[in-house]
Amino acid sequence: MKTHLTHLTRLALLASLLTAATLSTSANEGPSEAKGKVALPPAINALPIEEAVLTSPPHVPQPIKRRHAARVVVNLEVRELVGKLADGVDYTFWTFGGSVPGSFIRIREGDVVEFHLNNHPSSKLPHNIDLHAVNGSGGGATSTFTAPGHSSQFTFQALNPGLFVYHCATAPVPMHIGNGMYGLILVEPKDGLPAVDREYYVMQGEFYTTGSYGEEGLQSFDMAKAIDERPPYIVFNGAVGSLVGDKAIAAQVGETVRIFFGVGGPNITSSFHVIGEIFDRVYPEAGLSLPNHNVQTTLVPSGGATMVEFKVDVPGTFILVDHSLTRAFNKGALGMLKVTGPEDRVIYSGKEIDAVYLGAQADAGSASQKREDELKAQIAAATLANPAIATLTKEMRIEKGKQVYMGLCFACHMADGKGLPNAFPPLAASDYLLADRDRAIRVVLKGLTGAVTVNGKKYESAMPPQEAVLTDAQIADVLTYVYNTWGNTGDPVTTAQVKAIRNETH
């Protein structure tokens, strides 16, 4: 025991030196020496003892049925494990209970918790735990600094009901949290929470990998990116896609769903939203006194949590996102709730009708429009006949086309014409574009939906029609630009070609 203490003290010194050297602030408390077991008063000593059931995400332990306090024993094991952060991307996660977020802990207000933090012998580093549910120094961190192959014990009484984040608070703290050391502990109020049909556990956290998003191989923690708060990954439940496809959370039409949602951080807050659902109740900041009703998006701070409850009325796939949306679509903060059951077409009909809409062209039949068209045709004919105007050079057309491109197309196809993986197809060296010029003109005029394969990759999205937005000349110019940029080469597209295809619908 003596040797353990000296070993621990040495590690503690190292830890505080690290803190001082690398962070210059000391948010974490230094570890304290073991004081021996607490002598519990007889009333508490007499309480029934039970071992807490811990679950890994997205699962939650059963609601607590008992209506009296207990002495609850929590055994939480720290493991440092290599796991999958994204397809082809590995990461050495530091975990509470082998998962990110760590095991869900569920206790009741008034419970006296005997907490054991067990650091697996294979760990390389000491760790501790700060539970935001604890009233006491460091939230337990000062009592749980635990070397690899050691176990720490401390006791606390759960005085405040609510949903609380726990996390490692060993220096450098942002690195320990940034490697996945966070989770949730629910302290149920004395009378329990309102009954629901399904409960799920979701936490958001960001990963500061040395490589950029999707860069393959084993990635490590990048302290400079963490300090700048520039995470390549912001994810739910520890990995890109952890709640997608057959790993989606599920419910049936008519059921009520409760999501225990927390943010581990270490830095980034979340604008938590479920696309196509309205939260019937939100417990802001996970305080239980006041549910807000009918909320669309709720803000969850780093190191904070919320509880959202909603009834699912219709079937479908409902997307969980951080509504700071590049995080969802470009960094991983996206999950799915799959709801099955009968449709209710009054609540949500689905697409009812898909009809052609011609916008301004619908007026083409009117007399004044006809007159205008005739005049335009006369001007066009006169322009064509005038060699000075007709020989508007290809370079000028490309330049004019560039203006159109940079004002419109670049938003999706990108300034470099390379598009965006899985979202917008490339125009640079696009086999689809180069194979059929009439078809390309048609795509820009009429738009394009449904599956399309460009350079061997499938896209299934929607390109908005431009016929009401751009003139024939502008479309000719922009396509001339596209056909003569980023390595593409081709003849100019003429206004007459565009006009012919625009008139196809008539």
Nearby residues of 119 by Cβ (< 8 Å), 6 or more positions away: 77, 78, 126, 127, 146, 147, 148, 149, 150, 151
Tokens of 128: 């501790």
Residues 379-418 that bind ligand HEC (CB under 6 A): 408-409, 411-413
By the rule CB under 5 A, 181 interacts with Cu ion: yes
> Taking the complex as a whole, how short is the minimal distance between the CB of residue 421 and ligand HEC, in angstroms?
12
Nearest residue (CB) to ligand HEC, 106 versus 413: 413
Residue type for position 443: V
Stretch that binds Cu ion, among 11-19, 167-175, 252-260, 334-342 (CB under 5 A): 167-175
By the rule CB under 6 A, 18 interacts with ligand HEC: no
Stretch that binds ligand HEC, among 45-53, 248-256, 385-393, 437-445 (CB under 6 A): 437-445
By the rule CB under 6 A, 425 interacts with ligand HEC: yes
Q: x/- site string to Cu ion, residues 91 to 130, per CB under 5 A?
A: ------------------------------------x---
Residue pair 18/175 in contact (Cβ under 8 Å)? The answer is no
Beta bridge partners of 191: none
The DSSP H or E segment spanning 113 is strand 112-119
Residue type for position 417: G
Tell me how far apart the alpha carbons of residues 505 and 93 are, in angstroms, rounded to a whole number. Answer: 58
Residue type for position 395: E
Contacting ligand HEC (CB under 6 A), which of 22, 449, 453, 505?
449
DSSP 100: S
By the rule CB under 6 A, 483 interacts with ligand HEC: no
By the rule CB under 5 A, 144 interacts with Cu ion: no
By the rule CB under 5 A, 170 interacts with Cu ion: yes
Peptide bond connecting 172 to the previous residue in cis, omega within 30 degrees of 0: yes
Beta strands 297-300 and 217-219, pairing class: unpaired
> Taking the complex as a whole, how short is the minimal distance between the CB of residue 247 and ligand HEC, in angstroms?
26
By the rule CB under 6 A, 302 interacts with ligand HEC: no
By the rule CB under 6 A, 504 interacts with ligand HEC: no
Nearest residue (CB) to ligand HEC, 14 versus 423: 423
Ordered DSSP codes for 147-208: -TTEEEEEEEE--S-EEEEEE--PSSHHHHHHTT-EEEEEEE-TT-PPP-SEEEEEEEEEE-
> Taking the complex as a whole, how short is the minimal distance between the CB of residue 429 and ligand HEC, in angstroms?
10
100 binds, among Cu ion, ligand HEC, none (CB under 5 to 8 A by kind): none
Tell me how far apart the alpha carbons of residues 340 and 379 are, in angstroms, rounded to a whole number. Answer: 60
Give the footprint of ligand HEC on this chain (CB under 6 A): 408-409, 411-413, 424-427, 430, 432-433, 440, 443-444, 448-450, 452, 454, 459-464, 466, 478, 482
Give the footprint of Cu ion on this chain (CB under 5 A): 127, 168, 170, 176, 181
